[in-house]
């Protein structure tokens, strides 16, 4: 049996692929719910993710899996709207004329910004189309230095810096230029006249988790089951220890896939991962009214949260019993930060005041409900030298034979962690297990013939 540690989408994807290849699997999930960071709240209609989620057109593995699991007709590609909030004004930034009208960048700034997003280097006399081809060339280049060189100071201060503040907070200057270029390449399809297209599943991503659970078989998944130890004596994984409400059991395994954050891997195996992770505090607000015309509002202004998302400007409110749903969220770089130390009701009070400051028409009575989720490890800091720190899928050399990794510190979760990356990581670990088994049996067969 192959033991999978973690019932998030990476662990479920690994289990699904292993079963397809004829392997017996058991998934152990510490919490009572499956889906990990893709968990949901109930609403008056469809469930909504606790942390905002959408798909990019460049993500193919998840689309193939959605089709394979029979959910293809639920997948929708919708136009997203995006705006900047500066000095009390919401500036839409999707259509060429909206970008042209944005008053906080000059025409020259917009030209330099557009050229970078089109991956055209215009620093010399002649434009260069291959400067940004190799991300590795920019792995050690600080992002600020890069942006000042490849765009302008005003583009950095008025466009990128607010985005980097929201995404990496106090760690923003540690991030590499390679991450930024990776994100530019990762971005999806755009319609010149209507903006960027993003994907969402009707009913949210809960049906995808549900379909994976059905495919793997509920009898092969245990929730409320924390794996507390991997026995890797004699350089091979032998068993894992599982703690449930009923007690502690030891399960023999042929291999183990750790599909959880790298601190879990370190606790179980001693494998150290140097990647720093950020935490997230994220509230979902249900209101009677719409506050903006925008899905994604970048805040280049004072606000107690890093991002303000009106989800029902992406997916219509009728899907949620006519509730208007919003996210307010902040990344947290250090657990000593005040926001992290606040309890949920303190966060909600602070953020409610923040919403009122941004939108004078907001009335607190229009809030139907608010739920706040937090998790101490939700996103890596994609700092310089990141790729040297990713955890390999196959840990037979580094830890013991039969130990594999599919969590967020794996290569598939670069340059952005995503559901697609988690599925690719799960598949990659499963492929290595089955490939290794094929190699071993081929080698055994060959030896048998030659004996």
Ligand X SMILES: Cc1cc2nc3c(=O)[nH]c(=O)nc-3n(C[C@H](O)[C@H](O)[C@H](O)COP(=O)(O)OP(=O)(O)OC[C@H]3O[C@@H](n4cnc5c(N)ncnc54)[C@H](O)[C@@H]3O)c2cc1C
- Give how far Cα 67 sits from Cα of 63, 316, 434, Å: 6, 23, 23
- Kindly identify the residues of this chain, within the stretch 261-280, that bind ligand X according to CB under 6 A: 264, 280
> Are the C-beta atoms of residues 311 and 271 closer than 8 Å to each other?
no
Q: Judged by CB, which is closer to ligand X: 265, or 355?
A: 265
Looking at 7-15, 154-162, 173-181, 334-342, which segment touches ligand X (CB under 6 A)?
A: 7-15
Q: Which long-range contacts (CB under 8 A, 24 or more apart) does 359-368 make?
A: 359/291, 359/292, 361/291, 362/291, 363/289, 366/287, 366/288, 366/289, 367/285, 367/286, 367/287, 368/286, 368/287, 368/288, 368/323
> Are the C-beta atoms of residues 176 and 383 closer than 8 Å to each other?
yes
Q: Does 208 bind ligand X (CB under 6 A)?
A: no
CB of 63 to ligand X, least distance (A): 11
Looking at 34-42, 88-96, 334-342, 359-367, which segment touches ligand X (CB under 6 A)?
A: 34-42
Looking at 33-41, 107-115, 171-179, 314-322, which segment touches ligand X (CB under 6 A)?
A: 33-41
- Kindly identify the residues of this chain, within the stretch 275-314, that bind ligand X according to CB under 6 A: 280, 282
CB of 445 to ligand X, least distance (A): 36
> Are the C-beta atoms of residues 180 and 159 closer than 8 Å to each other?
no
Report, in this order, helix, strand and coil percent for the chain, each rounded to 5. 40, 25, 35
Q: Does 408 bind ligand X (CB under 6 A)?
A: yes
Q: Judged by CB, which is closer to ligand X: 38, or 163?
A: 38
Q: Does 196 bind ligand X (CB under 6 A)?
A: no
Virtual torsion, Cα 138, 139, 140, 141, nearest 10 deg: 40
Q: Does 11 bind ligand X (CB under 6 A)?
A: yes
Q: Judged by CB, which is closer to ligand X: 38, or 113?
A: 38
User: Which one among 256, 259, 352, 395 touches ligand X, defined by CB under 6 A?
Assistant: 259
Print the binding letters for residues 356-385 with ligand X: x by CB under 6 A, - otherwise: ----------------------x-------
CB of 282 to ligand X, least distance (A): 6
Q: Is it true that the peptide bond before 415 is cis, omega within 30 degrees of 0?
A: yes
Print the binding letters for residues 322-341 with ligand X: x by CB under 6 A, - otherwise: -------x------------
> Are the C-beta atoms of residues 80 and 295 closer than 8 Å to each other?
yes
CB of 305 to ligand X, least distance (A): 12
Q: Is 400 helix (H, G, I), strand (E, B) or coil?
A: coil
CB of 238 to ligand X, least distance (A): 18
Task: For residues 329 and 134, give the distance between their C-alpha atoms in angstroms, rounded to a whole number.
Answer: 33
Least Cα distance to 378 among 447, 413, 433, 331 occurs for 331
Rg of the chain taking only CA atoms, in angstroms: 23
Task: Tell me, by CB under 6 A, how many residues bind ligand X.
Answer: 36
> Are the C-beta atoms of residues 282 and 373 closer than 8 Å to each other?
yes
Task: For residues 26 and 19, give the distance between their C-alpha atoms in angstroms, rounded to a whole number.
Answer: 10
Q: Does 43 bind ligand X (CB under 6 A)?
A: no
Q: Does 113 bind ligand X (CB under 6 A)?
A: no
Q: Which residues bind ligand X (CB under 6 A)?
A: 5-11, 28-31, 36-38, 51-55, 226-227, 259-260, 264, 280, 282, 329, 378, 407-408, 417-422
């Amino acid at each position: 049996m192959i033991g999978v540690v973690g019932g998030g989408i990476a662990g479920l994807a690994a289990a699904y692929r292993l079963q397809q290849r004829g392997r017996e699997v058991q998934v152990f999930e510490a919490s009572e719910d499956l889906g990990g960071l893709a968990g949901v709240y109930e609403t008056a209609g469809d469930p909504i993710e606790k942390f905002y989620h959408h798909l990019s057109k460049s993500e193919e593995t998840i689309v193939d899996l959605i089709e394979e699991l029979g959910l293809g007709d639920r997948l929708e590609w919708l136009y997203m709207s995006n705006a900047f909030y500066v000095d009390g004004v919401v500036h839409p930034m999707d259509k060429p004329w909206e970008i042209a009208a944005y008053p906080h960048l000059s025409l020259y700034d917009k030209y330099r910004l557009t050229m970078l997003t089109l991956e055209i280097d215009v620093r010399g006399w002649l434009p260069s189309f291959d400067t940004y081809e190799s991300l590795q060339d920019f792995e050690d280049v600080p992002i600020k230095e890069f942006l000042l060189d490849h765009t302008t100071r005003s583009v950095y201060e008025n466009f990128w810096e607010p985005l980097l503040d929201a995404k990496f907070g106090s760690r923003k200057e540690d991030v590499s230029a390679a991450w930024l270029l990776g994100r530019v390449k990762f971005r999806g399809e755009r319609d010149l006249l209507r903006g960027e297209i993003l994907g969402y599943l009707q009913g949210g991503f809960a049906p995808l988790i549900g379909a994976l659970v059905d495919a793997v078989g509920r009898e092969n998944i245990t929730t409320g089951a924390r794996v507390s130890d991997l026995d890797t004596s004699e350089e091979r994984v032998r068993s894992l220890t599982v703690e449930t409400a009923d007690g502690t059991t030891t399960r023999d395994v042929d291999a183990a896939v750790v599909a959880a954050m790298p601190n879990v891997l370190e606790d179980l195996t001693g494998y150290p991962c140097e990647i720093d992770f950020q935490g997230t505090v994220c509230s979902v607000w249900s209101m009677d009214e719409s506050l903006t015309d925008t899905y994604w509002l970048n805040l280049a202004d004072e606000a107690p949260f890093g991002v303000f998302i009106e989800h029902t400007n992406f997916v219509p409110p009728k899907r949620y019993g006519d509730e208007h749903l919003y996210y307010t969220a902040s990344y947290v770089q250090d657990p000593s930060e005040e926001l992290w130390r606040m309890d949920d009701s303190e966060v909600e009070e602070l953020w409610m005041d923040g919403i009122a400051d941004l939108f004078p028409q907001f009335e607190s009575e229009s809030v139907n409900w608010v739920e706040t989720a937090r998790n101490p490890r939700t996103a890596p800091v994609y700092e310089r030298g990141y790729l040297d720190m990713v955890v390999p899928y196959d840990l037979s050399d580094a830890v013991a034979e039969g130990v594999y990794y599919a969590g967020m510190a794996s290569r598939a979760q670069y340059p952005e962690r995503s559901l697609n990356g988690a599925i690719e990581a799960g598949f990659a670990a499963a492929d290595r297990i089955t490939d290794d088994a094929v190699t071993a049996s081929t080698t055994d067969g060959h030896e048998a013939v030659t004996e």
